[in-house]
Amino acid sequence: MDGKPKGAEFGEDEVRFLSVLRTSLALAMDRGLEENAAMLKKLIEVGQLISSSLEMDVIIEYTLQSLKEVIGAKWCVLGLRDKETGEMVLKGSPGASKELQVEAERVPAEGTILGEVLKTAQPLTVEDLEKYDSSLRLSYWSKDIRSVAVVPVQSRGKILGALIVCTPFPRYWEENEVGYLSIIASQVGLAIENAQLYESLREYYMSVVKALAAALEAKDKYTQGHSFRVARWAKAVAGEMGLSDKEQEMVYIGGLLHDIGKVGVREYILLKTSRLTPAEEKEIQSHPSVGAKILEPANLPKEVVEAVLYHHEDYGGGGYPEGIAGEKIPLLARIIRVVDSYDAMNSDRPYRKAFSQKWVIEELRRCSGKQFDPAVVEAMKKVLERDKSACIDFGGEWRPDSELGGLE
C-alpha cells in the first residue's frame, strides 16, 4: 500500500478494511461491475468526505444518506455506545419519523440484536424480523421495520457503536452489501476517532485562550469579565445576523482575545483616570496590532486575527490602526466594535460610572454609520430586546437604569 513504510505492519483496522475491500472487489468482479458501481462510487465519495472534513454531523448525515440511496433502505441509523451505561445513543437517522427518532434516541443494547453485534464485533443481518426471535428485536421495533442489517463501528479494536440499516419488507442481504456496510462502518469509525481527537485538541486550545484572556483581565480590575462578555455578546449578535456556527465560534474567540495586545501597554496607562498624553494615547492605540502579532504564531484562523487587528476601526472611517472603512473592515471586527463599546459604556471605569442602559442604546443608535456598522447595531438591539434575561447569563451585568449613576 502506498505510504506504508517498507516492513511496517498493518494495524487490526487496516487488515479488516483491506479484507472487506478485497471481498467486495472480488464479488464486484463476479457479479459484474455495473451492479456494484454505485456502491464503489459512494465508497470513494464518503472516503473523500471523511478525509477532508472534521465536521462530524456533516459526515454522519452524508454517510447515512448515501447508505439509504445505495441499499434502498427505509431507515439508516448510526448509534454510538454510551461507555458508562452501555446504552445505544442515536447520532443520525435519516428517513425515520419524529416518533421513531424519539423512541430510538437512547435504547438499551444488551439482549437485543445490537447487543449481539457489540459483543461479537461481527455484522448481523435478519431477513425477516417477524420470523426472528422476538426477544432479540430492537426496543423500537415497529411494523415498518421488517428486515435489518447491523454492522459494528470500530476504531483501533474498540467498538464505538453500530450502523443499522432497516427496510420495511423482508430482504435477503447479499454478502457484498454487508461488505459495503462494513467498509462504510470502518470509515465512520475513523471519522469519529478523528473528530474526538480534534474536539479534545480544540477544548485544550480554548482553555489556553480563556487563560490568556483571564490573565489580561487580572491586570485591570475595571475590565474584569469584559472579554468574556464581549465574546458572548459578539456570538449572540453573529447568530442574530445569520452567521454560520463556525463564524460564531470565531467571533467568540476574537471577542475573548480582542484586547490581548494590552499586555504590552503599561499598567499606569490602563488605569490612568486623567487625560492621556498623545504618547500614551499612541501606546494604547497600538494594542490591536500588538494583539495580532501575539496571535500570529498561534496559527489561529485569519478571521480571528483580523477581528482582533481591526476591532477599533470605525465604519465611517477614521479609526485605528489603518483607518479603513465600511465593508473593508472585516465583519467579525465590526461586530466586536459594537459589542465592545456597548459593554464598555455599560460598565464602570476608573474615571466614570457606567452609563444607563437607555443612554447606551441611544448612543449606539446615534453612532450607527459613524463608528458602528448599522446592520450590527440593529442586530445588537434585537438581541437586547429579545431577551433581557440573557444579560444575566452574560455575567450578571444587567442592572436596571435606576441603579446606575450614569452621565445622562
Q: Are 302 and 294 in contact (CB under 8 A)?
A: no
Taking the complex as a whole, the smallest distance from the CB of residue 205 to Fe ion amounts, in Å, to 22
Taking the complex as a whole, the smallest distance from the CB of residue 312 to Fe ion amounts, in Å, to 6
Calculate the alpha carbon distances from 270 to 27, 217, 261, 266, 326 in Å: 73, 11, 12, 7, 29
Distance between CA 337 and CA 316 in Å, rounded? 12
The DSSP letter of residue 108 is -
Q: Are 111 and 138 in contact (CB under 8 A)?
A: no
Taking the complex as a whole, the smallest distance from the CB of residue 292 to Fe ion amounts, in Å, to 12
Q: Is 217 in the site for Fe ion (CB under 5 A)?
A: no
Taking the complex as a whole, the smallest distance from the CB of residue 287 to Fe ion amounts, in Å, to 6
Q: Are 217 and 257 in contact (CB under 8 A)?
A: no
Distance between CA 211 and CA 219 in Å, rounded? 13
Taking the complex as a whole, the smallest distance from the CB of residue 367 to Fe ion amounts, in Å, to 16
Binding piece for Fe ion, criterion CB under 5 A, among 70-78, 117-125, 133-141, 252-260? 252-260
Half-sphere exposure of residue 255, counting CA atoms within 13 Å on the CB side?
Answer: 31
Taking the complex as a whole, the smallest distance from the CB of residue 185 to Fe ion amounts, in Å, to 50
Sketch the per residue contact string, 135 through 174, with Fe ion: x for CB under 5 A, - otherwise: ----------------------------------------
Identify which of residues 68 and 349 has a Cβ nearer to Fe ion in the complex. Answer: 349
Identify which of residues 177 and 259 has a Cβ nearer to Fe ion in the complex. Answer: 259
Q: Measuring CA to CA, which residue among 358, 321, 325, 326 is closest to residue 342?
A: 358
Identify which of residues 118 and 329 has a Cβ nearer to Fe ion in the complex. Answer: 329
Taking the complex as a whole, the smallest distance from the CB of residue 375 to Fe ion amounts, in Å, to 21
Identify which of residues 73 and 213 has a Cβ nearer to Fe ion in the complex. Answer: 213
Size of the site for Fe ion (CB under 5 A): 1
Sketch the per residue contact string, 255 through 294, with Fe ion: x for CB under 5 A, - otherwise: ----x-----------------------------------
Distance between CA 114 and CA 272 in Å, rounded? 67
Identify which of residues 75 and 320 has a Cβ nearer to Fe ion in the complex. Answer: 320
Identify which of residues 247 and 259 has a Cβ nearer to Fe ion in the complex. Answer: 259
Identify which of residues 12 and 296 has a Cβ nearer to Fe ion in the complex. Answer: 296
Q: Are 380 and 342 in contact (CB under 8 A)?
A: yes
Taking the complex as a whole, the smallest distance from the CB of residue 19 to Fe ion amounts, in Å, to 59
Q: Give me 180's grid cell.
A: 459495503
Identify which of residues 259 and 303 has a Cβ nearer to Fe ion in the complex. Answer: 259
SS3 letters across 256-276: HHCCHHHHHCCHHHHHCCCCC
The amino acid at residue 55 is E
Residue nearest Fe ion, CB atom distance = 259
> Which spans of this chain sit near Fe ion (rule: CB under 5 A)?
259
